[in-house]
Chain A
Amino acid sequence: DIQMTQSPSSLSASVGDRVTITCRASQGISNYLAWYQQKPGKVPKLLISAASTLQSGVPSRFSGSGSGTDFTLTISSLQPEDVATYYCQKYNSAPFTFGPGTKVDIK
């Protein structure tokens, strides 16, 4: 099965900073990659599908890129409401594995 990794596992940044999270698949998955945001105590929310398609209502400071095995989620200007754990997920075929998550805090 394809394994998903994320880096870093956690980060602390200042409001307004540019934040980048990396997700890597152990084999190519084309662009079948989703990013989810889970705020503390809340239900996960889909931010980005197909590696780079921003979901309706998601702020434009979020963006995704990549294809094949390497993907990134970028927050162009970190806001206090972005404190959350971010997960990538492959969905090219089952099993639809999640990455281990990246916890983002405000410094």
Chain B
Amino acid sequence: EVQLVESGGGLVQPGGSLRLSCTASGFTFGIYAMSWVRQAPGKGLEWVSTITNSGGSTYYADSLKGRFTISRDTSKNTVYLQLNSLRAEDAALYYCARELSALGCLDPWGQGTLVTVSS
């Protein structure tokens, strides 16, 4: 069974940093691109970032303005999202998702990890 388990969320002050992790199981991690999608409370889905299967290419939402970095460690079956210079508007449930058959088309999704930004 394919499983994606996110971790690393929590409460952080404005301007702070967090590193989110997503550990995969049940499939050959190294052949799939992976993405992060976030959802602020009561709001819609917002694509955040994607990394190709090799890690050679990464893509980001323009709104992030260089504050987030996606990476992956195939030896650990894990994809990461480094969040820096956090703002109140970054508070959201952050989902990890696997590519289906084309870059950006996502299935399945993890349960998400919650990031709260507050002083």
Q: Is the CB of B35 within 8 A of A96?
A: yes
Segment of A19-27, A43-51, A60-68, A76-84 in the binding face: A43-51
A-B contact number at CB 8 A: 74
Q: Is the CB of B44 within 8 A of A89?
A: no
Query: Which residues from chain A contact B104 at a C-beta distance below 8 Å?
Result: 32, 89-91, 93-94, 96
Q: Is the CB of A87 within 8 A of B47?
A: no
Query: Which residues from chain A contact B44 at a C-beta distance below 8 Å?
Result: 85, 87, 98-101
Segment of B15-23, B24-32, B79-87, B107-115 in the binding face: B107-115
CA–CA, A100 to B35, complex, Å? Answer: 19
B2 at interface by CB-CB < 8 Å: no
Q: Is the CB of A95 within 8 A of B111?
A: no
A97 at interface by CB-CB < 8 Å: yes
Interface footprint category on B = 20 to 34
Contacts known (A43-B111, A46-B107); A32 close to B95, Cβ less than 8 A: no
Q: Which of B35, B62, B109 has the most CB of A within 10 A?
A: B109
**B71-95 at interface with A (beta carbon < 8 Å):** 95
Query: Which residues from chain A contact B50 at a C-beta distance below 8 Å?
Result: 94, 96
Q: Is the CB of A98 within 8 A of B100?
A: no
CA–CA, A32 to B109, complex, Å? Answer: 19
CA–CA, A89 to B112, complex, Å? Answer: 19
A71 at interface by CB-CB < 8 Å: no
* Cβ distance A102 to chain B, nearest Cβ, rounded Å: 10
CA–CA, A75 to B50, complex, Å? Answer: 30
A interface residue numbers (CB < 8 A to B): 1, 32, 34, 36, 38, 43-46, 49-50, 55, 85, 87, 89-91, 93-101
